[in-house]
Amino acid sequence: MLSAMARVNVELKARDPTPESTLARCLALGAADQGVLAQRDTYFPARRGRLKLREADEAPELIAYRRPDSPDPAESTYVLAPVSEPHALADALDAALGTVVVVSKRRRLLLWQGVRIHLDEVEGLGSFVELEAVLPDAGDLAEAQAKLARMRAELGIDNGALVSVGYADLLMDGPQALRRAADAAMRNAYAPYSRFKVGAAVRGNSGAIYAGANVENAAYPQGQCAEASALGALVAAGESAITAVAVVAEKLEVCPPCGGCRQRLAEFGGPETAVYLGRPGGTATELTLGELLPGSFGREALRE
């Protein structure tokens, strides 16, 4: 959980094919133009949610946040920490954790009734509009959602333009990021008996990636599959749902989960949850949990 000092907002993001028209519509609604900001966000691995260092025209900040991957308006919880020496902090975090990806953008900021309107030009991705209704400035949760709905209608944002993930995920390519995490975990697998190393990675609802490897035991039934290890890390971080899975093996191009792990994954995902099989850099086999485990037994069967 984030601290009690965490802030909350409701967000929506979409691709913007007509930035000039969007700006004109925002100004016509009475939004106050705050000018253009240059921002550079460096993302680092995080055990829970996401962690980024923002270097910008305004004061630099370290930002820890959690937001579900969803195209619909969703609540985001975040903590801001002012930074006095961003370059030194970036070097320290990179040395300790490694850098995931860097997002550079030019942001036109407008303010309207407690809603921050971001007209973004993102390097390597293009033009986007992002709406953030900050609580309590935008009112309570219902008021914030109503304001986003009105702004979306005024700007003509249709369903096809909505984006469910952040810029970092778009730049990284979600499946590749999962496969890389699974591959890295696989290299640390403890498999002295079978010599069959497996790695798995799951993406939580917050967008964070949790990876695990198979752990064998001389008493064979006590061993643990990679998928179980990854799910254990997810639960330990306080999450209870997955949006995607990747599995890789050292000796196979494609290594599907065993039957038991399919059931384990189904406990935290749904039939539509994406599954990526295959090593990073190669061609992935893409399917869903529903295809892996048709007719699965779930919690709904236990309801009276």
pLDDT in tens, 116-154: 999 999 998 899 999 999 898 888 989 999 999 999 999
Do 134 and 226 reside in the same domain of the chain?
A: no
Q: Are 277 and 183 in contact (CB under 8 A)?
A: no
Mean pLDDT, to the nearest integer, of 226-255?
Answer: 93
Catalytic residue annotation = 227
pLDDT of residue 218 exceeding 90: yes
What are the φ/ψ torsions at residue 284 (nearest 5 degrees)? -90, 145
- Other residues' Cβ atoms within 10 Å of the Cβ of residue 234: 25
What are the tens digits of pLDDT across the range 273-293?
Answer: 999 999 887 778 999 999 999
What are the tens digits of pLDDT across the range 14-26?
Answer: 999 899 999 999 9
29 compared with 75, residue with greater pLDDT: 29
Mean pLDDT, to the nearest integer, of 66-95?
Answer: 89
pLDDT of residue 266: 95
Coil, helix or strand at residue 297: coil
pLDDT of residue 257 exceeding 90: yes
Do 180 and 226 reside in the same domain of the chain?
A: yes
Which of 104, 137, 168 corresponds to the end of one domain?
Answer: 168
CATH number at 272 reads: 3.40.140.10
85 compared with 124, residue with greater pLDDT: 85
Which of 122, 145, 168 corresponds to the end of one domain?
Answer: 168
Residue 149 to residue 142: CA distance in whole angstroms: 11
Confidence class of residue 237 from pLDDT cuts 50, 70 and 90? confident
Q: How far is CA 174 from CA 12, 75, 86, 177, 179, in A?
A: 19, 21, 27, 5, 9
Residue 72 to residue 80: CA distance in whole angstroms: 24
Give all strands (DSSP E) within 218-292, no chain letters. Answer: 242-249, 274-277, 285-288
Residue 271 to residue 293: CA distance in whole angstroms: 8
Do 204 and 156 reside in the same domain of the chain?
A: no
Q: Which of 120, 86, 103 is nearest to 11 (CA)?
A: 120
Count, residues in the chain: 304
Do 115 and 214 reside in the same domain of the chain?
A: no
Is 87 part of any domain? yes
Is 52 part of any domain? yes
Q: Please list, in sequence order, all residues whose beta carbon lies within 8 angstroms of the beta carbon of residue 257, skipping any fewer than 6 positions away.
A: 200, 225, 227, 245, 247, 265, 275, 292
Distance of CA 65 to the CA centre of its chain: 10
State the DSSP H helix or E strand holding residue 263, giving kind and residue range, or none if neither: helix 259-268
CB-side exposure of 300: number of CA atoms within 13 Å?
Answer: 5
State the DSSP H helix or E strand holding residue 279, giving kind and residue range, or none if neither: none
Is 140 part of any domain? yes
Q: Which of 209, 207, 214 is nearest to 191 (CA)?
A: 214
What are the tens digits of pLDDT across the range 50-61?
Answer: 899 999 877 899
Q: How far is CA 45 from CA 50, 71, 170, 270, in A?
A: 7, 23, 16, 26
Confidence class of residue 68 from pLDDT cuts 50, 70 and 90? confident
Residue 114 to residue 148: CA distance in whole angstroms: 10
DSSP 8-state secondary structure symbol assigned to residue 48: S
Do 178 and 272 reside in the same domain of the chain?
A: yes
Is 41 part of any domain? yes
Do 24 and 134 reside in the same domain of the chain?
A: yes
pLDDT of residue 84 exceeding 50: yes
Q: What is the mean pLDDT of the chain?
A: 90
For the full predicted model, state whether its pTM sits above 0.85. no
CATH number at 150 reads: 2.40.320.10
The number of distinct structural domains making up the chain is 2
Provide the residue range defining the domain that includes 136: 7-168
pLDDT of residue 6 exceeding 80: no
pLDDT of residue 5: 54
DSSP 8-state secondary structure symbol assigned to residue 179: H
pLDDT of residue 18: 92
Helix (H), strand (E) counts: the chain:
8, 13
- Other residues' Cβ atoms within 10 Å of the Cβ of residue 91: 11
> Which amino acid appears at position 149 of this protein?
A
Do 131 and 261 reside in the same domain of the chain?
A: no
In percent, how much of the chain has pLDDT > 70?
96
Do 236 and 104 reside in the same domain of the chain?
A: no
State the DSSP H helix or E strand holding residue 47, giving kind and residue range, or none if neither: none
- Partnered with residue 134 across adjacent β-strands are 9
Q: Which of 149, 150, 172, 50 is nearest to 102 (CA)?
A: 172
Do 39 and 145 reside in the same domain of the chain?
A: yes
Winning range, highest mean pLDDT, from 74-78, 238-242, 247-251: 247-251
What are the tens digits of pLDDT across the range 163-185?
Answer: 888 898 888 766 888 898 999 99
pLDDT of residue 304: 60
pLDDT of residue 67: 83
Do 40 and 155 reside in the same domain of the chain?
A: yes
Q: Please list, in sequence order, all residues whose beta carbon lies within 8 angstroms of the beta carbon of residue 234, skipping any fewer than 6 positions away.
A: 202, 204, 210, 240, 242, 268
Do 52 and 151 reside in the same domain of the chain?
A: yes
pLDDT of residue 1 exceeding 50: no
pLDDT of residue 258 exceeding 90: yes
pLDDT of residue 4: 43
Do 79 and 201 reside in the same domain of the chain?
A: no
